[in-house]
Amino acid sequence: MDQIAVNGGARLAGEVRVAGAKNSALKLMAAALLAPGRSVITNVPRITDIAIMAEVLVRLGCTVDFIDPDGSSPVREVVIDVPEKLGTEADYDLVRRLRASIAVLGPLLARCGYVRVAHPGGDAIGSRGLDMHVAGLARMGADITGEHGFVIASAAGGLRGATIWLDFPSVGATENLLMAAVLAKGVTEIDNAAREPEIVDICAMLTAMGARIEGAGTSTLRIEGVAELRPVVHAAIGDRIVAGTWAYGAAMTRGDVTVRGIDPGFLEIALDKLVTAGCAVEKSQDSFRVRMDVRPTSVDIVTLPYPGFATDLLPMAIGLAAVSDGASLITENIFDGRFMFVNEMARLGAEIKTDGHHAVVRGRERLSGAPVRATDIRAGAGLVIAGLCADGVTEVGHVHHIDRGYPNFVADLRALGVAVHRSEAPDELAY
């Protein structure tokens, strides 16, 4: 277990470029399964989760190669050679480490007519069932059962188009149903679909592969199935969550950060909250700048499906509230376990009281450095940033979580002026 130690009092200042979106690149890799041949995905972040997804594809019979511009680059290309005959089972030992691997369910069912995928794992941020995945695929003609921890789906006669209404605009369910529908017979309509930029990115890749999709970016997707798809070269969009982390870090540390490689429109509400807190925000086509000269003013934040405030930015929102002038009400509407890291923030001196899916945070001028541990990807990054606002040294353990979503995190911190050190954690932090 490694730890990251930061000295408090640092002010983030400078430029940082974000890599491709983790939540896009992983699903683009799954989408490559839909077309035999050689697909190439560029702007892929150098993170642990990508390596796990690559191994999932290898065990399904694909050849996966990485092309690195250089050994230190946060991005690389992934070359996926998909065979005519794919394997149909995604094993538990990998799927438990990466929830996104459930995204192979739809493509494999569409291509092979049968799939056996272990129930997924991933971050411990609350219950995220597969009910909507299963119900949607069943409406498309799949016979789905479960045994020994696996989801087993078959569609011997092929999937057929259907009208599907999602009870909630689930990103994962939308992705699986979308990728299954592109090879189904007839027309599939997904109502109350997720609208995230990563969904639009998948639609763009599938369209380039020959899929017929209407309504990308809206709550209704209409997919006309085709007989086959072709491999493509596609670049993943920039990571809005990593970009948002740096934006909120600039606000918390009264810094001045320019973030490049991202469409600021992906973060419209998150950046607007920073303006309300007192930041100066400048936007351009593929970058934005956040400048903060005074202590932030408290703001209330509610997480919602896109285009609402992203749940993945909630740790940063709580960090901002913890050092703001006044009290903030933070409401989490997506994951019931997202507040699990609050106890770690309290160890840094943050004054937080939770009640169900609400948290009241009373801001303090300064936090206090302490040993803490990351409980998930975003909480880990949020704790490191919060440590910059604390007196003394903050040591964040279990930073393997951060490695799953932030390429070159320590290098980026140093480039922004932070005194930061990564090392093997002593035994007392490996809890």
Residue 361 CB contacts under 8 Å (≥ 6 apart), including other chains: 298, 318, 321, 322, 324, 327, 328, 330, 350, 351, 352
Q: Are 197 and 306 in contact (CB under 8 A)?
A: yes
131 is catalytic: no
Helix (H, G, I), strand (E, B) or coil at 75: strand
- Count Cβ neighbours within 10 Å for each residue of 129-165 and write b for 16 or more, e otherwise: ebebbbbbbebbbbebeeeeebbbbbbeeebbbbebe
Farthest CA pair distance, the chain: 64
The catalytic position among 49, 81, 123, 263 is 123
Q: Tokens 């050679």 correspond to what residue?
A: 81
Residues 313, 382: Cα–Cα separation, whole Å? 9
Helix (H, G, I), strand (E, B) or coil at 177: helix
Interior CA angle at 346 toward 331 and 126, to 5°?
45
Residue type, 45: P
Residues 142, 157: Cα–Cα separation, whole Å? 9
Please tell me the chain's helix, strand, coil percentages from 3-state DSSP, rounded to the nearest 5.
35, 30, 35
Residues 57, 65: Cα–Cα separation, whole Å? 11
Cα–Cα separations (whole angstroms), residue 110 to 57, 142, 157: 16, 10, 11
- Count Cβ neighbours within 10 Å for each residue of 190-215 and write b for 16 or more, e otherwise: bebbbbbbbbbbbbbbbeebebebeb
What sign results for the dihedral spanned by CA atoms 99, 80, 59, 66? negative
The phi and psi torsions of 169 (rounded to 5 degrees) equal -75, 70
Helix (H, G, I), strand (E, B) or coil at 86: coil
Helix (H, G, I), strand (E, B) or coil at 190: strand
Stated as kind and residue range, the H or E segment containing 289 is strand 287-291
For the annotated catalytic residues, the residue numbers are 123
